[in-house]
Amino acid sequence: SEEDKRTKTEKSSKKKKEKKKREQKKGKRDE
């Protein structure tokens, strides 16, 4: 359904954002 699709998209975009944040933190530590 449309609602399911929206939830899935929001969840995956949230995961991507969190992953980016983690990678940025890692990068800062390496500097």
Per-residue confidence (pLDDT) for residue 16, from 0 to 100: 96
Q: Which two tokens stand for residue 28?
A: 């800062």
DSSP 10: H
Three-state DSSP string of 1-31: CHHHHHHHHHHHHHHHHHHHHHHHHHHHHHC
Q: Over the stretch 1-31, which tens digit does the pLDDT of each residue have? A: 999 999 999 999 999 999 999 998 888 776 5
Domain boundaries of the chain, sorted by first residue: 1-31
CA distance 19 to 21: 5
pTM score, whole prediction: 0.55
